[in-house]
């Protein structure tokens, strides 16, 4: 009988260990192991955004490009090596993603107070939230406990990330593949209320599309010629380029979306009514955006004994 009882206890213990290794993300994950984490990340992000307000948008985009490629696992941060091809030079990322140095800086600061404890994936998730808040956007509770990937996939980056030339159906499909609804997609697209885009990504829209305000197209053509000047920048939201608000949707209603994919959200399609609602109801947009960010941050995280806690976000241990 005693042996049976000990066996039962052993099984229960093993079950608890297995459950812990498969635990879901939790906002309190580092409450004991790194209680100052949020303060450290916020201080470093505040410095980065004060120095360059655009950085809030860059870090947010970095998080999006990470999560859409095999989950939120910091794979996008890995550098290429002689024997390893990462995601940084995939089509949607090359000469486009930025902010890697900011994540490096935050990681170094976190390592000083909590060595070998906090993943790069969690740092990126927190930094993305803080960047939005610092530019006037909504806050949300960030679930934590992600671990870092030891691999990356350039092919998945090329296939999973929606293009600026995407149609509405392509956008809905790309987000659906990640477990995100059409409403999530439309809310998350509101991230384009901050940041800038390169001429190469909006040239076809301002020269070839008809669903665009003529004066707006002419204005954008002044710094984006029909050929050449690929890297010339324009704000995604001309009204308030460094303020996180609902002006992006007001632009769409006025047919002043910068990217083809932006204007697809308001082009006699299924998202028209939601875009109109967001354009006049900033609080609903903020609420939906925050909820969608939590959902996106939950895409296939590595937890438990999967992956690792990288000491350098750019390379595996």
Q: How many helices (H) and strands (E) would you count in the chain?
A: 14, 2
- 193 is an annotated ligand-binding site residue: yes
Q: Is 65 one of the catalytic residues? A: yes
CB 301 within 8 A of CB 146: yes
Structure tokens of 220? 């954008």
Q: 84 forms bridges with which residues in the sheet?
A: 81
What is the sign, positive or negative, of the torsion defined by CA atoms of 178, 139, 276, 209?
negative
- 71 is an annotated ligand-binding site residue: yes
Q: What distances in angstroms separate CA 58 from CA 6, 196, 242, 302, one per listed residue?
A: 55, 9, 11, 24
- 69 is an annotated ligand-binding site residue: yes
How many CA atoms within 13 Å lie on the side-chain side of 273? 1
CB 256 within 8 A of CB 238: yes
- 237 is an annotated ligand-binding site residue: yes
- 66 is an annotated ligand-binding site residue: yes
3-state secondary structure of 86: coil
Identified catalytic residue from 54, 65, 260, 314: 65
Q: Provide the 8-state DSSP code for 81.
A: B
Q: Residues annotated as binding site for heme b?
A: 192
Residue ranges of the binding site: 66, 69, 71, 73, 75, 87, 162, 192-193, 237, 240, 245
Residues marked active site are found at 65
Q: Binding site for Ca(2+): residue ranges?
A: 66, 69, 71, 73, 75, 87, 193, 237, 240, 245
């Amino acid at each position: 009988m005693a042996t049976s009882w000990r066996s039962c206890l052993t099984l229960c213990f093993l079950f608890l260990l297995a459950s812990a290794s498969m635990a879901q993300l939790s906002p309190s994950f580092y409450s004991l192991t790194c209680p100052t984490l949020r303060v450290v990340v916020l201080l470093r992000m505040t410095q980065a955004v004060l120095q360059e307000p655009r950085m809030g948008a860059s870090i947010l985009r970095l998080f999006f490009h990470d999560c859409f490629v095999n989950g939120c696992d910091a794979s996008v941060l890995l550098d290429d090596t002689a024997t390893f091809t990462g995601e940084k030079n995939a089509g949607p990322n090359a000469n486009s993603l930025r902010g890697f140095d900011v994540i490096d800086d935050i990681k170094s600061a976190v390592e000083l107070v909590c060595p070998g404890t906090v993943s790069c994936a969690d740092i990126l998730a927190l930094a993305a939230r803080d960047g939005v808040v610092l530019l006037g956007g909504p806050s949300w509770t960030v679930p934590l406990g992600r671990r870092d990937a030891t691999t990356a996939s350039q092919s998945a980056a090329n296939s999973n990330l929606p293009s600026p030339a995407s149609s509405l159906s392509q956008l809905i499909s790309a987000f659906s593949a990640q477990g995100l609804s059409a409403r999530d997609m439309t809310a998350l697209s509101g991230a384009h209320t901050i940041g800038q885009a390169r001429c190469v990504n909006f040239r076809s829209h301002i020269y070839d599309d008809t669903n665009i305000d003529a004066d707006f197209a002419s204005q954008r053509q002044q710094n984006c010629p029909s050929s050449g000047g690929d890297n010339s920048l324009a704000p995604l939201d001309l009204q308030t380029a460094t303020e996180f608000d609902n002006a992006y949707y007001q632009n769409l209603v006025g047919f002043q979306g910068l990217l083809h994919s932006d204007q697809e959200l308001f082009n006699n399609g299924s998202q028209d009514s939601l875009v109109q609602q967001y354009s006049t109801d900033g609080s609903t947009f903020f609420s939906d955006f925050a909820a969608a960010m939590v959902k996106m941050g939950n895409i296939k995280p590595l937890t438990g004994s999967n992956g690792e806690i990288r000491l350098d976000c750019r390379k595996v241990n």
